Every structure is written in C-alpha cells, then in structure tokens.
Structure 1
Amino acid sequence: MTGAGEDVALESAIYQMALSIDDPEVCRRFLDRVYASDGPARAEMEALIGSAGGSGRYFSEANEHKQRLAREFADEQGQAGAPAADDVPWEDAPGKWLGGYRLVRRIGAGATGLIYEAEQFQPVRRRVAVKILRHGMDSREILARFEVERQALAMMDHPGIAKVLDAGSTEGERPYLVMELVEGEKITDYCDHRSLGLTERILLFIQVCQAVQHAHQKGIIHRDIKPSNVLVTHRPDDTPFPKIIDFGIAKAADSQRLSKQTVFTSHDQFFGTPVYASPEQLDFACLDIDTRSDVYSLGVLLYELLTSMTPISPPGAVSITRLHEIMQDADFLRPSERLRGLDREELKSIADDRGVDPAQLVHAVRGDLDWIVLRAMEKARSRRYQTVNNLAVELERFLHDQPISARPPSRLYLMRKFVRRNRMAVALSSIIVLLLVAALAGTTTLYNKARQSSAQESRLRQVAEAARAEETRLRIEADGRATVARIAFLLHQGKIDEADRLYRGAPPASVGPSMEAASVFRSLAGWHAEAGRYDQALPCFQLLIQANRFDDPNKIMQGLDLIASGSVLAWLAPEDYRAYRTEVIDTYLPVEGPVEAERLLKFCLLAPISPPEHRKLREVVRQIDFAIPQTPPSWVGLTRSLDLLRSGDCMNSLIEAREALKDAELKRSCEASIHAVMAMAEKGLGQGREAASDLATARRLIQEAHGEDYVGDRKVVVYWFDWMVAKLLVAEAAADVPAGIPQ
C-alpha cells in the first residue's frame, strides 16, 4: 500500500518533470501516459502547472520591489553618513596581509565578494587574485555559494578556466579564495580594439566553447557567460587565449555534488545577467537549469561578436518577468538582418572593427552563421545544440566549408560546400573531364567528317548568300544616304520640284533615319501638304516620325512636327495616328513649358481619346493656362474647350469656346475649329438646331478661305495644318450632328 508521503513525492516528481518539458504537445502526451485512467488528478496537475508561471511572476515582482526598497534605504543611509555596503574595512585594505598574501589593490567587485590583486612570496613568488566575502554576506546561503565556487574551480583543470590556488578565512572568519590572476580584456573589447575579422573571432569563441565544455564534463553549469566573464590574455608566444572567470553562481548538474551544504534557490531569485540569460533562467516556474542554458548564453555571446549587439535590447529597466515575456514574444532577427537594418554610419563603424567593408560583413554573416547563432539561441532547449561541443564542432565545420546541421541541406548547398572544401581536387577533376570531353568531341568529329562535309558546304553557301544580301542592303542604304544628301542640297537651293522627283526615285524604305533625313522629309512633307497633296505628304511624315525618334524630345516639342504630322495621320491613317499618340504620351511626358504643353494637348485631342490615356494628360491641361501671352488666347481656348469636350463636359466646353471667340486676334482657321467644337458640344447638350448652325458656320469659313487665313479682314501668315485641324473637327462634327436638321 502506497503511503501519503510517497504520493506527495510522486506528484512532486511529475510536476517537476512536466515543468522541464519545453514543448506543450510533448508535455500533453507525457500527462496522457501518466494519468491515462485518472482524469481528475490530471486536471488538478494541469491547473497546478498553469499557475506556476503566475506564482513565479508574483514572487519575482515582490522580490524586485523588496530589492528596490532596500537600495533606496541604503542610499538614504549613505547620505546620512552610514558606511556603504562595499566599504573596505581596515584589515582588508591594500598593503595588509592575508595569510601568506599581501593585498596590492582592489581590481573588482562581485555580488558577494571583493577581488584584490595580491602578491605571494612563498613557496613561489607570483601575483594572484584574492576574492574575499563582503561584510554582511555571511548568511548560510551566501557561504554555501562561496563554497560552491571554490569547489567548482578546484574540480576543473583547463587552461581556459582560471585556477583556484588556495582558500582560507580571515581573522574575522570571512572566507576567501586565492585564484590565478587573469590580466586581459573582455572578449568583445579585445576583438574590436584589434579589428579582428570574423574568422579570428570564431577561433577565439571556439576556445571559449572548449573551456565551457570542460566545465560541463565536470558537472558544472556556469549560468553567467557574458563578455565581462571571458577575458582574453596572451600565451608566452603572444597568441591570444580566452579564460573564463567568475563561477560565483555556478550550479552542479547533479545536486549535492559541489558542497556538503545544501544550496537553496528561493522561488523569487534570479542568478545571471538578464540579456545573456536563457529563457528557462528567466522563468521562475522552471526548476531544472541544465547545460543547454550555457549553450544559449554562448549563442548570445557569438551574436555580439558578429554584430556588436545583443539579440534583444530591453526598453530601459524592466523586471525579470517582463524581460521573460519580451523574449517569449519576440522573434530574434538573424545577425545579417540586424546588420542590414542599421544606418550607414553605424554599420560602417561595426564593419571597420572587423576589418571589412559593410557589404562584405553582411555577406559573410548571412547564411551559415545566421543559422548557427539562431540554433544556439532556440527558446526551446530541445531544439538547441544539445552540448557546447556540438556548437564548437558546427563552427569548425563552417570554417572548413563543410555542411552544417543547423540548416536544411539542399543538394546545391552540399555541392557548394564540397567544391569549396576540395577546390584543388574539383579543379583537377574538371580539367580531366574537359580533356575527356574534348577527346570524345574530336573522335566524333573525325568519325562524322565525311557525312558533315556536305552540310558544311551548304552552310557556307548560305553564309555567302547572306553576305551578298547584306552587301546589297548596305549598298542600297549608302545610295539612299547619298540621295538624301543630294535632296537636301536641292532644297537648300530652292529647287523643290527637282528634289521631289529625286526623292520619288529613291524608295523611302531604303533611306535610313538621320537628322539630315528628318530635315528632308519635313521639307517635302510640308511642300506637298501646302499644295493639298496629303496622300503624297503622308509617307514623308511617316519617315519624319521615324527620324524624330532619334532626336531630343525637348527639341521635338519646341517645333511643329507633332501637330503637322498628327493632322495628316488623323486624316488619312487613323490607326497610325492612335498608335503614334500612345507613343507620344509615353515618351514626351512631362513637358517643360506651357507652349509645348498646349501643342502636345492639341495633338492628342485631334480625335476621340480613351479615358485612361486622357487621364495621363491632366498635368498637361494644368500647364496650358500659362501659355498666354506666348500663344493667342483663342488657340488656348480652343485646346481647353476641346479637352473638356473629350472628357464629356459639354457645358463648360461650350463656355470656353464662346469665350475664345472674343479674342481680337482670332484667326479664321481657329474660328472654324471652335465652331466645330461648339457643334459637337451643343449636340451633347441636346441643342440640335444650334449644333447644325455652328457646323454650317465652320464649313462656310473653310470654303471662303481658299487656303488663306485672316484676322478680321487682314490677311495673316497661313499654316496649312491649322486648316487641316479645322477640317478634321468639322468632319467629326458632321458625323455626329443629325443629318435631318437644316444646315
């Protein structure tokens, strides 16, 4: 029959085992097996486990509050003249003797002890470090921890761990330890001050791992691995060598191993440095801290060696419980991502400390080192490296370009690692393979030589024919260029008829685009258009557009090529006009000045336009308001009225058109265009009779002009494309206005 005491012990063991399981699913399966037939007991245990975190948080916050009050009280006492907690009594002052050791100077202070440099004269003369328990730190627990540190150091014999040389008690019964004096810099400062590269830093870190692994083999968990507890000194040959110090809060992997005294850790106590502490150290519900906690701290140290930053930076002073919550909620950034997120100057400073440029640093850390660091800092202990030696071996594999276990090994990754690791062998193998392939290719070529000779002859014949065709093309192109030059010369002399005849003798397609050709096409196109021979002007305008593609867009916008070529294209080749309009919108926007904006907008609105393309012209519409006085108000008004008509705003289009008719310098070509726009706007408003009247007016103005242009009764310079624009708009209006209305 099982006694009550045995039941309590069994429940306590189950409780501690459940708390030690990181994965909730694994914990659930464990409880399923233990309480397979006892549902109430299982429910009670789950409630107990669920409350563990809350109770730990309560005791932690209470302890922190108690410590804060104690500090405030100590500050008040210090201001009132009371001695500080770490004041040195006379018997410990430098110059005094402690056993066979003369104290020289105080070199540090820990949570429970003061550390002095001292001189030993017998049996050997050397300098040592002496750690003496503070005044007032003589509780049973503190004395037990001091004994733990002494026993821990005495058990270990590794060059990377400071040795304990002696121990004793002062006349006041305060225990002390005599240890190897380690003179060096903390590892992060040492690396930065000497601008050590990543390889040198990793080699130092591997030595730290080897020392920690030795401690673990002796059953010792350090629990406070951080840069200030890893000092770098030098061997006699001046090579750097790290040493681990301060085992003041070390823990035995199996209880009662270090000391005959029992060391109790209360539920509200935390030991270590929070930023470097593992999640289970910060969790007061976790009762079993094992060697994997040191693996996590080493991961944080490696993160800092690579980036000069720790994975998390708590916002100000936060409680241990709050820090634990932050750590559980946060997703650690990979070291390379953390570096890439810095501003340029900060990243450059960190890269300079490593002797590389910023891009090289990010590239070197990205990949394997990212995976190794994150694996070491896994929040769940079961997913970390299970021993420090595993972490060290992983880094060794990285340095030798071997595959690591921290990342899923793709075939490409394994192949790349193999090539890097065996560069010489791969190179020689590649050469041999290439030689074999070359020999095989040569044999195949000889074997197939007779059969391929006819094919080679056929290919050569085709190449020769292609060369002759290219020669013919180049000769025709050269003849075309010579013809263009001759036409340009004749145009310069005013012999337009002769230039046109010569142009007709040279097929337009054989004349390549050039600035000289653009001038020729512009002159011939204008000459034909002014004479009303639009069908003959069209191919010249098409070649002009092709040539203009090689010119500066700003230069094109300052001339009249757009409106001239656009009016002929819209009249005779509407599809070509629409394609060219799309090209102009995509190529020439934005325009520089209001005059250029007015010309481009008028060109784009010569025919109906789709809403998406029309929306691209909004900025151009806003610019044309500034075209006056460089452009007459009537022309600006025509363009604005036409824009409103294309957008469907017939009422405002009609208002703008009527306002444009008031211009004292109104040309008849512009007047005809305005009346055509008014006819279309009135049709859109349902004013059929008015639309027919304005359309008739526009037609009459075109018929009476006979190709001339007037302002009132005064003859002015005529531009043929102004009348072409009017004819285009009249033709569009005529198709829109009902034929049954009297005109």
Structure 2
Amino acid sequence: MATQDTQDDPDRTRQLATRAAVAARDGDDTLSPGARLGRYRIEALLGRGGMGEVYRAEQLEPVRRTVALKLLRSRRLNARHLAHFEVERQLLAQMRHPAIAQIYDADTTADGFPFFAMEYIEGSPLTRFCAEHELTLRQRIELLVRVCEGVQHAHQKGVIHRDLKPGNILVDRIDGRALPKIIDFGIATASLADAMDPREVAGTPEYMSPEQAAADQALVDTRSDVYSLGVVLYELLTGRRPGVGGETVTGNAHTLRLPSEQLSTLPPDAAGRIARVQGLSLPHMRRTLRRELDWVVLKAMRHDRADRYDSAAALADDLRRFLDGQPLQAVPARRGYVAGKFVRRHRGALLAASVALAALLGGLGLSLYGLSQARAQRVIAEQRSAELEKVAAFQQSMLQGVDIEAMGVGLADGLRRQVAQARPEDGPKLEAALAHASPPDLAREMIDRHVLTGAQQAIERDFHDEPMLSADLRESVARVRVALGMSDKAAIDFTEVADRREKRLGAADPSTLRARQEQGDALLAADQPEAARRVLEATLAHATALPDADPLRIRLELSRSEAISRLGDRRRALDLQQALHRRSVDARGERDLSSMEVLNRLASTLVDLGEIKAGRAHMERLLPMYKTLLGPEHADTLAATAQLVAMRTQSGDLEQALALQRELVGIQSRRLGREHPLTLMARGYMVNVLANMRGRAEEALSEAKAVVEARGRVLGADNPQTLRAQLSLATLYARLHRYHQTLALEQKVIAARTRVLGPRHPDTVFALVNHAGTLQNDGQHQAALALLQRVQPLAFEVLGEQHRQAQVTLMIRGDAAWDIGDQSAAFASYRELLDIRRRLLGPQHADTVRAAWEFEGILIEAGKRDEALQVSQEYIEPLLRMPPDGLGEAQRNMVSAIHEQRQEDGAVATAASH
C-alpha cells in the first residue's frame, strides 16, 4: 500500500447513498500504534476511506514483514457471510501476478469486521507517478498494458475489482523500471457484495461503469472493470477525468467528450504542456488521439457493456497494437488506415516504397534512383521516423486522391500549349488526334506505367528476400490502383498478395482473408461478379474459424451478396443481407459500424429491386445512427445523407428530399466553402431535386446557372464536373421545353467531352444519346435518326447492352421511326428492346413491362391487335395478376399507370360511341 495520506485522495473509495438505510458504524475509533490485530501489530494509520481504514502493520508470524492492512468497517459479517468469506480469502490469496499487490491473508476481528493483509507498496498513484516522472505517451500506455494484464489475471480467477482508479494502481521504480501494482481487491469479493445490501454501491463514482452505478450489482461483470480502465486511460492521456465537464448521462444514453475534444477545450499553453510532457507536439498529440486512441477510449467506455472490449486482455491487445504500429480493432476500417499503420510500423524499410510512390508528386519523369539511396540511408531514416511517417502518409493520400479526369484535361492542355508555342500550324492536327484519344486514359496509363509498375518492380527487386514485406508493399500499390479506377489490375495485385500470404501463413490467416476480401471487391469494381463470387465463396470456406460476428467475416459475406446481386439474383442477395444483418445486430448491436454497413447495402438492394419505400425506411433509421456514432460531418454520414436524399426523391417525397439536401449543402458550405467542388456537387444535386418539383423550375434554373458558372470559374471550362453541370442545366431546359437552349448546351458539352475525354469515352457517349433524345423531343426526327446511326452501335459497344442509356437508343429510334411513318423500323426497335430487357431483367421487371406497354400501344395504333394481345398476355397481364404484396415499388407504379391509362382509354371509347 502507498505511504501517502489517502485522506488527501479526492478519488478515495466510498459507498454511494442508496434508498436502503446504511447501518451505523460501531464508532470512528482507529487502532493506535502498537495495537495487535491477530498476528499483526499496527504501526501507523495510512488513511481512511468510505469502507474503513488502512494501516501500515508488521506481521509477526510465521514471517516478519511490513504489510498494508485494510480493516473494513462498513459491514459486520454474520455466520453465513463468514463461510463465504473463507472461500473468498482463499480465492484472493491464489492471485499471483507481478501487477497485483499480493494478498497474504484475510480474516475477521472478534466483532466480525473483515480485514486484509497485503503487500506493502512504496509507490505513488499511477497518474501522479506519470506526471512527476514526465512519462512519455508510450511509457504511459506500456504501464497501462501491465495493469490490464493484472486485471485479466484477476478476472480469470473469478475476481472483479470494482474500484479500479489511479489511487488503487501504485507505481514504483524497481531496478530503474516503473512497475505498477493493483491494490485494494477488498471490495471485489463476492462475499462482501453479498454482505452488503444488494442495492448499495461501493466504488468511486468518477471511475464507475453505468451498470455499477445503477445499484443492481447483478449487472456488474468483468466489462465493468474494462470501463474503469478506459477512464484511467482517458486521465493518463489528458490529465483530466471524463466526468470533469465531459460526460453527461441521462437514462440509458450518454455523451462522452473524447480525449482529443477534451484537449481542445484546454488553454493552448496547458494543452501544449500535456503534449510536451508526453514527448509529442500538440498537433501530433491531437492527431494521435483523434485517429486512434479516441476510439480505444470510446470502445472501453461504451455505455452498453456489450459494445465494450469483452475483456481487459482485449483492451491490452489493442494498446499493444498501438505501440507496435498495428491497426487497432477499435478503429473503423477506413481506406488507407491499415496501409498507413504499416508505413509507421516499418519506418526505414518503407522509405524505399515511399520514394517510389512519391514519384508522381515529383513528376512522371522521375526515376527510381531514390529507392536504392533510401535503403542506404536507413539509419538516418530511423532517426527521422516521425517526419517519414508524415511524408509517407501524405504521399499515399495524394496518390489515392488523384483526379484522373482533371489530370487528363491538364495533359491535353499541356500538349496544346507546347504545340502552340513550337508549331502553331500543327494545332488542327493535334485537335484531330485528341478527338480520337482519351487523355484521362493516357494519364492513367502513364501513372500506372511510370509510377506504380516501377514501384512494383523496385519492391520485387529490393525486397525479394522479404516476401511478407513485399506483399504488404504490393498491397499498398493495389489500393492506389483501386482509388484511381484501375480495378482490373488491382484485382491481379490483390490475388498475388493473397497467394503469397496463403503460402506463408495459410489460407485461414486473417491477413490472407483480408487480401482475398479486397481481391473480391476489386473484381466487383472491375465488373467481374462471377469471378468475385468464386473467390469470396472459397475464402468463406477458409474463414470458419472466425466468429459469426467478426467484422472481417461480415465484410466477406456482404461482398459475396453483392456479387450475387450483380449476377442478377437480387432477391437471394437480399435474403442473405437480411440474415447477415440480424446476426450482426444480435451479436454486435445495431449501432455497430459493421451492422450499419450491412443495413446500408441492404437498403440499396431493396431500391434496386424497386422496393424504394422499404429501402428508404432503413436509411431513415440508419442516418441518425451515423450522426450519433460518427458525427454529422463524417464522410460516411454525408454519404448516407446523399443516399437518403436520392431515396426520398425516388419515392416522390421531394419536399423532404429537398430539406435534407439543403442541410447537406449547408454542412459542406460551412466545412469547405460554398464553391468547393464537393459543395458544388451537393448544390448540383439540389438542382435535380428542385427540377422535379412543381412550381420550383425558376429556382432550379437560377441555382443550376450559378453552379455552372462557379464550376467553370473554380475548376475550368473543360473540367468534367463543369461539363456535368452544363448537362444538368441542359436537362432542366428540356423539362421546361426550351429545346433550343438544351440543344445548344448539349452540343457544347459533346464538343468538350470529345476534345478532352475522346469520342469513345462513356461520358461522351452518354451526352450523345441525350442529344439524340432532345432532337426527337424537339420534333427533329430525321436528325435524331441520323445521329443514332452513329451513336447506337457506339453505345452498345462502350456501355454494354445492360446499360440503361444504351437501351434508351432503341426507344428513341423506335419513337422517331414511328413519327416519320416507318412502322417496320419502329416495331424492330421495340422488339429488340423487349428481348434485351426480358433476357437481362426478366419478364415481370418494371422496365421490361414498360417497354412491352409502349410496344403494345403502337401495335394497337397500327391495327396489329393480335400481336398487341400476344405482347399483353406475355408481359402485361401476368404483372397485373400478381398479388400486390409481392410487387416492388416500381412494379406497383407500373400497374397503377397501366390501370389509369386503360380507364382513360375506356372513357374515351365510351364518349366516342355516344
């Protein structure tokens, strides 16, 4: 026990007032020096707390030694309690761990008051020791890891401490090393909990878990100690307890001011002093807390004990992972997080890779000479590890954030400038060449060839004798390829990484499984769903050792369901996602990020099936969870907000969609400024919502013009986002039947996209199809057909027949042919469209039935009633006979439209007959 006067300890253990009356003490008399208590002789009073007194005493037999003796006066034990107490004293005595003050003996006084004799510790409370010795952040965490190990040892013996706090964790230097000792397991025993009224709460409120403070001790388990350890960690990091202006508890809800937020509330000089003592600059301290340790504290101190670390060992493991530079279990999986941790972990070895990755930032012409130089300078790099960590993380994020489209624009503009200066007469030839090329694809190819492929070759050359390190480096390159849209090559990279790990570590190793999961996702992004399904199902067969609720297993199963959905079996994908969501919620709770990710994907699948209202209902419930867990301005929250806006729009609830989109625009404007590209993107979608609302056309038009002007000024006239804004404005003009303005803007966009992106780029083809549709709507049927002669084959080749925009060309051609009197061409177009949709979507899909309905209409108008009846019986009538409960949202809308049209046709026929 410590030698300090515990009466000065503001955190001393006390019993909280409860509704039950507390039995009066026999008196406040303390034992005088020289008094005997069994085989112990009292030397001095060390302190007094709510549970009793602590003395320094000398044990007289069978050995002589100094002990700390704690006499508990809060309850006198009766005969039944004494029997339990005898069992517990044996249990406590069995605890043998370097981080636990050894309990030598436990007995009772003649009047039935229990006492404990334990190891006497010459030390200071944990927080005081850290402050007095100015321990660094790493040293503080190392100390807490040892404490967690001691707590875990006690838990394995069936003992819960119930009062973990700095005052009960004493630290002393032994042979120059700081060693912690946990004391005061006196209130941990089941016999004492039984001896007290079950509604009485013993402990220190500031460190007490919610369930322990709730006066029902049946709820207290080992996770209650985990909560207290989280509070201790919080205090070690910030110098304050979370209860000091930090935590609010109301019923079952609470808010916790995280360590990084607590640090920001302090005066700059005080916060800077805390950081300096821990060996960090203030900005570095804030980043360290915000990126990782905030999450550890949050998980340890979750209000719901089911959401905490399930043991002190799990908390210790995450803290060790922090010290070793490993990814933390508490931190949500984010792009670049694992790679960033790997960079920090390998320091000098990864300087070689960081130089290779930095080639892009230094210019595409840089060679990989710096790679070998970096290896030679490894010792220097070790000394500058902090700077290298920042540089490597910056370079990684820069590569992943490259805008390929903008880079292509810059490449084309650079060529124009060079030709204009050197040989102006060759300008037309260059424009002709660019019209048949795709500058973004060229930019992507150059990055891949001169940076990423070069980096891979250097990795294989310089780390061939370190297969696991080279696999990790290659994984980093693969993630950059994913971010830059090179999913097919990324899939090859992830395959190689997974194969190497499987060969070295086994197919069931978590790092192998993670690489396979990323391989599957890359295959999905590369539009290879069947290959993805095979990889993911084979991987799941090796993942049986993972618990059902493990985030990696959930991610694997979710990716598999996405592959199944992409293969066309959306109903089965939905069933899998619903079962996965139930399982995840049962094990992890609905507010767990893994559960939320499943629900997010499930909502999208429902929308894909046409069940928009059901999908929206899930997103309406999910968005508040994102806001609560991650905050209203987190990237995932903003993405969920945009997703819900789209669902509200699709379900026809435009007022609520507009309100939410205005909220999103406000957040982005406040965070980034009103003319930041992301804010302009949000404003552009707000234009789309307004355009669909009755009476809001002028407001939509005004905002659309403002977005086009701002994007042109901020991003440039030929920037892809500027061109998309112009196309949206053109669409708005078309809805207002101002086709001459629509056609002029579309021609401008087509010219720019052809020049910048190339004539075969999907965006260029998309704009050409829109232009053909506008010509048709403007009554220029021959012009529409002439354009379609060139555009329709291109759309099917570039976009694929499954793409809706490619299918739209058949509708435009059919309508234009009908309008000029070419019935056979119109019939041929609609038959082709119907065949494609039946094959790809099924006969009862809403889009298939819509095509059949349109076809039926022109067949009737042409007098081909027998063929119209055949089309109706094959496609339309089966949908009308389906039970309403079995229909998706889009199918229900289709049924309603058909009934309305038939009623209108019937009314017209009746009027004509009279």
Q: Please, what TM-score do these two structures have when normalized by structure 2?
A: 0.36
Q: Which has the higher contact order (CA 8 A, sep 6+)?
A: 1
Identify the structure with the greater helix proportion.
Answer: 2
Q: Please, what TM-score do these two structures have when normalized by structure 1?
A: 0.43
Over alpha carbons, which structure has the higher Rg?
1
